[in-house]
């Protein structure tokens, strides 16, 4: 069966995903439409409303931000349409997470985004609780500036000559403060099943020409360390170039493409 895909978002992630789908890069998946609150101009599929997309598609791919997940995800699933979420940071809202994981008949999926090792961390849950889970995310200072920051913190970021810790906390509170930059924190928490168990540090570094994520986890059954360094997307430095390709890999798994590592 060919999955009829509606793509939400025509930004840095959506354009790569949509272009690849239109070229037939994912066997068993066909791009049917694009949903965006702006006029997107020329595109490889018609621009439709959410309601129209739900009538025509059996799989919606979210590539537009946490707000879309909060507003539309539950309705998509209750309509019987499957949903692939890229903006996992929205799931720091535990009530929303519970509703989505319990909703149906549509099924909800999450893409791994800019990091690896989440499949292993999820598997380790079968052995018992991880007692020490840490994530350090390091990015260019300009990509971390937020409206809630005071002048003193903004001045530290803009004048930094080396690494500056911008915030530390748990995967429950950090993604809320950096909605476009810390979906990774929520993804790690989803993998281990506990928002409060993941300690997160956000670091600004003027020399971070590659976005870095370091995941460290340990428990009585073993210890684990995953580190990645990605080039930022030129059109949206807040996200890594690899993210749309992670979405495409997830789409391949959902569509049943053989040879996928699950």
CB 7 within 8 A of CB 31: yes
CB 236 within 8 A of CB 172: no
CB 100 within 8 A of CB 108: yes
Verify whether residue 213 is a known catalytic residue.
yes
Report how far residue 5's alpha carbon sits from residue 8's, in angstroms, rounded to the nearest whole number.
10
DSSP 84: E
Beta strands in the chain, from DSSP E residues, in sequence order = 3-8, 29-35, 59-62, 82-85, 108-110, 132-139, 164-170, 198-204, 211-219, 222-230, 232-233, 236-240
Report how far residue 11's alpha carbon sits from residue 235's, in angstroms, rounded to the nearest whole number.
9
**Which residue among the candidates 213, 221, 230, 245 is catalytic per the annotation?**
213
Write out the catalytic residue numbers: 213
């Amino acid at each position: 069966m060919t999955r009829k895909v509606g793509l939400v978002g025509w930004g840095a992630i959506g354009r790569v995903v949509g272009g690849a789908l239109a070229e037939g890069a994912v066997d068993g998946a066909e791009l049917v439409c694009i949903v965006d609150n702006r006029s997107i101009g020329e595109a490889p599929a018609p621009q439709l409303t959410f309601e129209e997309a739900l009538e025509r598609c059996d799989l919606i791919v979210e590539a537009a931000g946490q707000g879309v997940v909060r507003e539309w995800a539950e309705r998509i699933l209750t309509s019987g349409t499957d949903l692939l979420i890229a903006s996992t940071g929205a799931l720091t809202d535990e009530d929303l997470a519970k509703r989505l994981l319990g909703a149906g008949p549509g099924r909800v999926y999450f893409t791994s985004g800019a990091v690896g090792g989440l499949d292993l961390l999820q598997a380790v849950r079968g052995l018992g609780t991880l007692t020490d889970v840490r994530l350090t995310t390091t990015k260019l200072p300009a990509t971390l500036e937020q409206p809630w920051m005071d002048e003193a913190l903004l001045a530290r970021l803009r004048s930094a000559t080396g690494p500056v810790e911008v915030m530390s906390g748990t995967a429950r509170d950090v993604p809320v403060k950096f909605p476009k930059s810390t979906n990774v924190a929520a993804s790690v928490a989803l993998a281990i099943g506990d928002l409060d168990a993941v300690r997160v540090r956000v670091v600004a570094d003027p020399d971070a020409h590659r976005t870095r994520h370091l995941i460290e986890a340990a428990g009585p059954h073993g210890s684990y360390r995953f580190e990645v360094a990605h080039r930022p997307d030129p059109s949206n430095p807040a996200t890594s170039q690899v993210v749309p390709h992670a979405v495409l890999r997830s789409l391949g798994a959902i569509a049943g493409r053989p040879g996928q590592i699950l």
